[in-house]
Structure 1
């Protein structure tokens, strides 16, 4: 076991030798005996003993009290004063050096042992305390440097009073630190309503031991406003009244950008929402980023249905058109140009709508694929018109073909200028006219034939 080293500062040699003998008998090591204050300061710095027994009334220019004070400031070695007799004033001055005890001269072995052991224990405890304080000071210094150079402000508040604030929070809000510390946080809010809102929401959450996050407008010293993102947490959940730490981040640029984007989005959404066509944007993972309200007018399904079911658009397709649509979707994601397709959809009421579809891939500024943007137009009436046109063209073509046939079957008599019917020509003409008009044939007899066939009857008339 390593012996504790006790240095003696005593100008009476006999007393010094007696003390050394007693110390050695008690198991201590005595590395040095000095007789003056100057030598005590020098030797203590050189040997760094565990304890010093210092005569309070040394002869010479430096008293024991002065030597003890110098050693305490430079080496922080525990000191026990030796005194045979001292007045009140001397003892008062000795107290300022914060000694670890007093020993009368002479002292019994028991008194010597107990005083030294208590002083050594207190010295070790004091050394640990000083080490912890030094570490704390270093940590606090490092933390202050970090906090002062963060892009966010940090403050510690008790009952909404600012106990401590980082340099960065003062810079953010335009205040000198001395104008911030000790003030109510109301100083930073543009109005009481904002102040009370954070109090109701934020401090209530902190009091429950939760971490609060939120955003609030803040007022700078010059009266201008900024937006801050707030994070608050109590230092002791079991005792919220002990205070809370708050982090403030200036998010004004982001809020300005969000507002600009919102205004832009509102403008373009208004245009898209009121367009006649059915507009949409499908993300890379196939979920719906945007679906215009026109989808309900055309497809009979509201926007919410498409947002809840990303596969609904394909599900509406006519079964005969799904393969072509799948091929189209696969092809359009691998190119940078738009592509068109026509297909049919089935509405909930069972009706069929024809759709003219066009879409193209969307890429961001870094060239990353950001989904597909498409437009669906209802062309059902056009399709019906096209089908009717095709039907009429077909009928006309058939009619023209029959007219050509008819023109080849009209033999006219060169003498009487009447259509011959010796091979059923007239019956063919009658059949064609009946099929292509509302004319009806009465099959009555003409005057010439009446005279020819019934001449006697007509002559009597």
Structure 2
């Protein structure tokens, strides 16, 4: 895949080198900005034009050297950065590594090497950008799902917990991150009461009793899935926890809510339920938030008759 047409900004305080680079890139089909000869001007051009790639002189003269300019650019725009260098000491190169550049071009450069590195950098940046978008969507899905989800590493240390899991366990993720799962909760078999020793024993939606750190417990259904790296090596497990409402008896207080033994205040007119803070929520919102219930929707026969009388008439004939 060719990335011709992508935009590139050249930043170099030596005008002749900058012009040579721009000319070479333009001949290869790239859209090239007017070259920048200072860090301040480079930042301004990035803000205005948002290039796909920046070729940056690592030893740029002025108040901002190439590395400082690259760091400033990364804060305002997502683009690939390639450093241009004739000679750089080890300390400068160590600083440059912190900006995660896509490569280095040694002056004097060869056009073939330049074009190859530009193409590879544009490709890698596009791939990384797509991966970040997918990761962000996946993270948002995990964060917003009503299912309680925990991620453990191979040592059963907690690496991730979504808000639904925080609510179910009544614990903040920050307080238990890196802790061993056994220090936070454990499962037992509902029939025998024996503790579940191996998570691998848990099959799809297995009914279990969840024991919290505060000694309370509740009935849940648990699904575990093994996590592997790209080479198939075991990395840990993901736990999905669902309150089992068919058996649900939660011995812990319904923290911050009206407990199951108290009356629910329901508006006589609109039938909304009063929240602990005095506001009112719909039936579904209330029970989803405080009891982790899930809902499916249908239409009962009386409502169907009222809503779709014409359809019923057609069925008769």
TM-score, scaled relative to structure 2: 0.62
**Is the alpha carbon distance of 1:211 and 1:253 closer, same or farther for their aligned partners in structure 2, counting shifts above 3 Å?**
closer
Matching of residues 33-432 of structure 1 within 5 Å: 33-143=35-145, 146-147=146-147, 155=150, 161=156, 163=158, 164-165=160-161, 166-171=165-170, 178=175, 181-184=179-182, 187=185, 195-196=193-194, 204=201, 206=203, 210-213=204-207, 216=209, 218=211, 221=214, 223=215, 228-236=218-226, 242-249=237-244, 251-252=248-249
Judged with a 3 Å threshold, the aligned counterparts in structure 2 of structure 1 residues 249 and 154 are, in CA distance, closer, same or farther, namely farther
Contact 1:155 1:162 in 2 (8 A): no
- Aligned-residue offset at 1:243: 4.8
Tell me the residue number matched to 1:23: 25
Q: Please say if residues 11 and 42 of structure 2, whose CA atoms lie closer than 8 Å, have aligned partners that are also in contact.
A: yes
- 2:118 and 2:167 mapped to 1: Cα distance? 50
Asked if the contact 2:186/2:211 (under 8 Å) is kept, the reply is yes
- Contact 1:52–1:78 (CA under 8 A) maintained in structure 2: yes
Give how far 1:246 is off: 2.8
Secondary structure of the structure 1 residue equivalent to 2:62: coil
Q: Which residue of 1 aligns with 2:300?
A: none
Q: How far off its partner does 1:167 sit?
A: 1.5
Looking at structure 2, the residues matched to 137 and 36 of structure 1 have their Cα atoms a distance apart, in angstroms, of 39
TM-aligned CA deviation for residue 198 of structure 1: 5.3
Name the count of aligned residue pairs: 236
**1:90-135 CA distances to partner (integer Å, 9 max, x unpaired)?**
1111111111111112212111111111111112112212222332
Residues 195 and 187 of structure 1, relative CA distance in 2, 3 Å threshold: farther
Cα distance in 1, alignment partners of residues 86 and 101 from structure 2: 16
Distance in 2 (CA, whole Å) between partners of 1:53 and 1:240 is: 38
- Structure-2 separation of matches of 1:130 and 1:50: 16
The 8 Å contact of residues 162 and 183 in structure 1, kept in 2 or not, is answered as: yes
> What CA distance in whole angstroms lies between the structure 2 residues aligned with 1:161 and 1:213?
21
Q: Deviations over 1:37-66 (max 9, x none)?
A: 011111112101121111111111011110
Instruction: Give the 3 Å change call, closer, same or farther, for CA 26–155 of structure 1 in structure 2.
Output: closer
Structure 2 unaligned segments of length 5 or more: list them: 229-233, 252-317
2 CA distance for matches of 1:237 and 1:60?
49
d(CA) in 2 for partners of 1:114, 1:229: 59
After superposition, what is the alpha-carbon deviation per residue over 1:115-157, rounded to whole angstroms, capped at 9, x for unaligned? 11111111211221222233233333323xx45xxxxx65556
Q: Which has the higher contact order (CA 8 A, sep 6+)?
A: 2
Distance 1:108 1:118, change over 3 A: same
The alignment partner of 1:112 has SS state of: helix
Q: In 2, distance between residues paired with 1:196 and 1:186?
A: 18
Write 1 or 2 for the structure with the bigger share of helix. 1
1:14 is aligned to 16
| Contact map agreement 1:155 1:247 (CA 8 A) in 2 | no
Shift in CA distance, 198/186, structure 1 to aligned 2, threshold 3 Å: farther
How much is the aligned-residue C-alpha RMSD, in angstroms?
3.8
CA distance in 2, matches of 1:240, 1:30: 44
Cα deviation for residue 9 of structure 1 reads 0.7
Q: Answer with 1 or 2: which has the greater Rg.
A: 1
* C-alpha distance in 1 between matches for 2:219 and 2:126: 47
Classify 1:203/1:248 alpha carbon distance in 2 versus 1 (closer, same or farther; 3 Å).
Answer: farther
**CA–CA separation in structure 1 for the residues paired with 2:22 and 2:202:** 66
